[in-house]
Amino acid sequence: MNENGVSTVLSIRRLLSICVLVLGSLAVSLAQAFALPQLLIDMRTNEVLYENEAGIPWHPASLTKLMTALIAFEAIETGQASLSTPVITSANALSAAPSKLGLPQGTAITLEDALYVLIVKSANDIAVAVGETIAGSEPAFVEMMNARAAIMGLTGTHFVNPHGLHDPAQVTTARDIAMIALTIKARFPQYDALFSTRTLAFGDTRSHANNELLTAFAGTDGMKTGYICASGLNIVATVTRGGRQLMAVTFGANSSRERGEMTAQMLFSGFAGGYRGTGRTVNAIANQAGLQPTDMRPNICGAGAPDYSEQRAAVFSAGLDGQISYLNDTIVPPTHTIATLGRLANVPLPRPRPSATPIVGTGMVDQTFSSGFGDASIISLTPNGVQPAPAL
């Protein structure tokens, strides 16, 4: 081979090397672009078994309702409310966009039924009505939500409403949502049935929770899903198998197939010992400050949605025809039946006022709250929200 031939071969080799480098970089870039926030936690130790982008800002969608439920559970615990407290649909509650229960204005249901509607049907009007019942108004309840988030150290979370309908300022992280969910599971096991129920019966109608794992992944016992265009499809799922309890969080899925399969795959690998673990607890994950929440709207509901859906199917094909699926079990979760209490009027807010003697002169009962991570704080519940109280 002459010099020109050698030179040509070397040039081709250099070109091929450059192509390999470019394609490698492109693959890394695509992998990063398609990497969604995910988190897998051993619920008995709070150790993070797997984590990807769990501290980046994201819109919570209806996962917001986990905080709404947590505050309701605490209100019941302190005597501010009971499971039989009437929750009345106000004009403000009915102004929330669907999904909603849509009862006529002034119609009441018990707080117990309202909590089922909140979690199973994910009704936005009932989320507002629950907040009004506990705090007196929706803004006062949102103050309580944000004060509770601060006490729990949820530095990446800010609430604007109790339901999760889109607001640019309503933001969280996978880490923070996991903290809320773990707190509920640790402190309020008596409400586990709320999160494991899939079907809500109301008269002749049936509403179903959107948690794909409840009917197809053995051992699933909760918790909550959420979706708006700006967030994509989010989920927190809890599963018990072989004496182990795992919690998985996935944000931003493109479809219910992807959300369910990605979450089930992560859980399957966790139970199979596929993750060594990180040696960190979930509260050790750092939230990334100064970033804007990811906006999935162009890819989920915008003009780019069809192309994005095809890209996602190529990147993650589990559950598609002819592909492996992690959702192969057949489960029949429980059904809960709700009924109205009729039309009620002139019931004071918040309702009911506590019958117990308050510890301090606020008109409410002081209570020690623990997030489940050893950060118990004393706070005083007032009609205007949650205010710090002196440590005892």
Q: What is the pLDDT of residue 360?
A: 29
- Cβ 78 vs Cβ 354: under 8 Å: yes
Arithmetic mean of pLDDT over the chain:
84
Pick the residue with more confidence: 19 or 168?
168
CA-nearest of 225, 171, 154 to 371 is 154
Q: What is the pLDDT of residue 1?
A: 57
Tokens representing residue 359 in the block: 């510890």
Distances (CA, A) of 154 to 69, 128, 172, 381: 16, 22, 8, 19
Examine the pLDDT at 52 and tell me if it is beyond 60.
yes
pLDDT at 117: 98
The model scores a pTM over 0.75: yes
Query: How high is the pLDDT of residue 306?
Result: 96
Lookup: tokens for 383: 């009609």
pLDDT, residue 4, reads: 54
Average pLDDT of 171-191?
98
Would you state the pLDDT for residue 5? Answer: 53
User: Which tokens in the block code for residue 14?
Assistant: 């250099």
Q: Is the pLDDT of residue 386 over 80?
A: no
333 pLDDT above the threshold of 80: yes
pLDDT of residue 33: 39
Contact 48, 281 (CB under 8 A): yes
Please give the average per-residue pLDDT across 260-282, as a whole number: 96
Q: For residue 76, is it left (φ>0), alpha (ψ between -120 and 50) or beta?
A: alpha
Domains of the chain and CATH, by start = 42-386 (3.40.710.10)
**CB 114 within 8 Å of CB 130:** yes
* Res. 93: pLDDT tops 50: yes
pLDDT of residue 343: 82
Q: State yes or no: pLDDT of 96 exceeds 60.
A: yes
Q: Which of 12-21, 165-174, 305-314 has the lowest mean pLDDT?
A: 12-21
**Angle, vertex CA 290, rays to CA 287 and CA 291, nearest 5:** 80
Predicted pLDDT at 276:
87
Q: Read off the pLDDT of each residue in 69-86 and give the average, rounded to a whole number.
A: 97
The per-residue pLDDT for 17 is 41
pLDDT at 294 over 90: yes
Which of 7-21, 81-95, 153-167 bottoms out in mean pLDDT, i.e. has the lowest?
A: 7-21
Q: List pLDDT tens digits, range 347-379.
A: 666 655 434 333 222 232 223 333 333 332 222
CA torsion 116-117-123-125 (nearest 10°) is -110
pLDDT band with cut points at 50, 70 and 90 for residue 344:
confident
The per-residue pLDDT for 169 is 97
More confident residue, 369 or 34: 34
Examine the pLDDT at 29 and tell me if it is beyond 60: no
The Cα–Cα gap between 193 and 334 comes to 8
Name the token pair of 184.
């509920």
> Which band of pLDDT confidence, cut at 50, 70 and 90, is reported for residue 8?
very low
